[in-house]
């Protein structure tokens, strides 16, 4: 290395090392942070030289607030005024009379805008946090470590291997006491020890976003469970996303149909302009909302096509999941439905009933029974963010969830006879796993 040289690692080859997709490019942010530090160093040195030549003492520079979040809240953010007011009321206190470290959780299922609400609070009240605002992805220990590495590099704390300790020690300094930590996607607190990343201080504010409501009162001192937007808020988001500042009565009517179809979910509504559904009542409004010459599917449709190209097993699972409980598809149920089941026969004798007797797709049975095939199919769906994987607390096996809008779009894009087939498969699967007729499983 050259004298005073600073190396910035980039996850790219020599051709792409100075090219960035956007301001949110994961390679651009560390570079930007280092350039900001470089700029501050130059300003300080120039000021020092100027003061020496004039014989004056250097004036102290006002501290630059650190705002280390991936982005600002989206420009179509609406609603959640009650939530922001509740957070403001909870966090607003006199630091001289600190009640201790405060923590607040934003909970709810995917698509409700938990992260956006946290970013909205951070941006609206950033004046409250001269110590810095930091967002850490809590999906896994590796994502937290990656974020800590970026932050410590920017703050020149990366002189050791124990990044959590370095970061906590830095926030434990009284000059950094007014900080805000946002732990995003705090869904798996068992495998991700969140508490080990939290400074043991009597100050500071922490916000968690999570699909697990159980963190309220445990990991977080208090919190709120988000609900869907109101109809008026949802329509406002959709129209602003479409750039329709003066909608007609007909436009408002179509917009209401769309947001009701989307269940007033912020994520689905925000993506409405980027997608097209094969729905006759919504397609009429679609050309007014986007600058497309022809009908296209949502970003999910691109993923559906990629799934079809990648794995036939994943395609079948995707269609099957469209007709099961979106929030609770248990691996144990799938395994049970694709296995021999003991039943009392009509003759009073114990017999084994194969899945084929319930007319369950033979290849689906083989795939579920083959652990490698099944895992490969699940991995494909998960890699395209079409399903989420959690642990079933009762069995220790996995359980899967899927957004209802993904279910709807995936099912509506196929022919009616295909829909009927997989709807029947879902029914047959549940009936074989949990029969409810006169021929019952023995105790």
Tell me, what DSSP letter sits at residue 381?
Answer: H
Residues 6+ apart with CB under 8 A from 434: none
Could you read off the pLDDT of 210-222 as tens digits, one per residue? 877 778 888 898 9
105, containing H or E segment:
strand 102-107
Could you read off the pLDDT of 21-34 as tens digits, one per residue? 655 566 666 666 66
* Mean pLDDT, residues 92-111 taken together: 72
pTM for this predicted structure: 0.54
| Gap between the Cα atoms of 259 and 245, Å rounded | 17
Could you read off the pLDDT of 293-352 as tens digits, one per residue? 223 344 456 668 878 888 999 999 999 999 998 878 988 889 988 888 877 777 777 788
| pLDDT recorded at residue 17 | 61
| Gap between the Cα atoms of 358 and 142, Å rounded | 44
Could you read off the pLDDT of 156-176 as tens digits, one per residue? 776 666 778 888 888 888 777
| Gap between the Cα atoms of 280 and 262, Å rounded | 15
Could you read off the pLDDT of 262-272 as tens digits, one per residue? 767 777 776 65
Whether 419 contacts 411, CB under 8 Å: yes
């Amino acid at each position: 290395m050259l004298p005073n040289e600073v190396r910035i690692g980039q996850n790219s080859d020599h051709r792409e090392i100075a090219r960035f997709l956007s301001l949110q490019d994961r390679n651009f942010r560390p570079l930007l942070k280092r350039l900001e530090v470089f700029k501050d160093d130059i300003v300080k040195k120039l000021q020092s030289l100027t003061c020496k030549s004039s014989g004056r003492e250097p004036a102290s520079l006002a501290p630059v607030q650190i705002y280390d979040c991936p982005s600002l809240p989206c420009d179509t953010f609406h609603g959640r005024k009650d939530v922001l007011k509740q957070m403001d009321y909870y966090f607003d206190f006199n630091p001289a009379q600190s009640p201790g470290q405060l923590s607040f959780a934003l909970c709810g299922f995917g698509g409700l805008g938990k992260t956006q609400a946290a970013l909205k609070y951070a941006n609206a009240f950033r004046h409250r946090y001269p110590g810095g605002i930091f967002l850490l992805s809590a999906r896994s220990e590796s994502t937290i470590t990656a974020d800590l590495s970026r932050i410590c590099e920017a703050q020149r704390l990366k002189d050791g291997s124990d990044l959590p300790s370095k970061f906590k020690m830095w926030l434990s300094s009284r000059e950094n006491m007014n900080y805000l930590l946002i732990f995003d996607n705090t869904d798996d607190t068992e495998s991700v020890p969140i508490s080990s990343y939290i400074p043991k201080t009597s100050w500071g504010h922490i916000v968690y976003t999570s699909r697990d409501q159980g963190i309220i009162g445990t990991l977080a001192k208090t919190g709120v469970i988000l609900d869907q937007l109101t109809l008026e808020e949802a329509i406002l988001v959709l129209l602003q996303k479409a750039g329709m500042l003066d909608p007609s009565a007909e436009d408002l009517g179509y917009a209401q149909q769309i947001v009701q179809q989307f269940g007033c979910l912020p994520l689905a509504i925000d993506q409405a302009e980027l997608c097209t559904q094969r729905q006759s009542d919504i397609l009429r409004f679609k050309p007014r909302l986007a600058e497309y010459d022809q009908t296209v599917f949502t970003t999910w449709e691109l993923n559906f096509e990629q799934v079809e190209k990648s794995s036939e097993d994943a395609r079948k699972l995707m269609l099957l999941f469209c007709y099961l409980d979106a929030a609770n598809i248990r691996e144990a149920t799938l395994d049970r439905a694709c296995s021999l089941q003991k039943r009392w026969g009509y003759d009073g004798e114990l017999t084994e009933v194969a899945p084929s007797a319930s007319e369950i797709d033979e290849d689906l049975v083989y795939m579920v029974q083959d652990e490698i095939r099944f895992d490969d199919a699940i991995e494909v769906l998960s890699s395209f963010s079409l399903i989420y994987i959690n642990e079933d607390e009762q069995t220790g096996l996995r359980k899967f969830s899927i957004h209802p809008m993904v279910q709807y779009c995936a099912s509506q894009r196929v022919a009616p006879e295909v829909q009927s087939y997989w709807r029947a498969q879902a029914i047959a699967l549940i009936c074989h796993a949990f029969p409810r007729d006169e021929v019952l499983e023995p105790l």
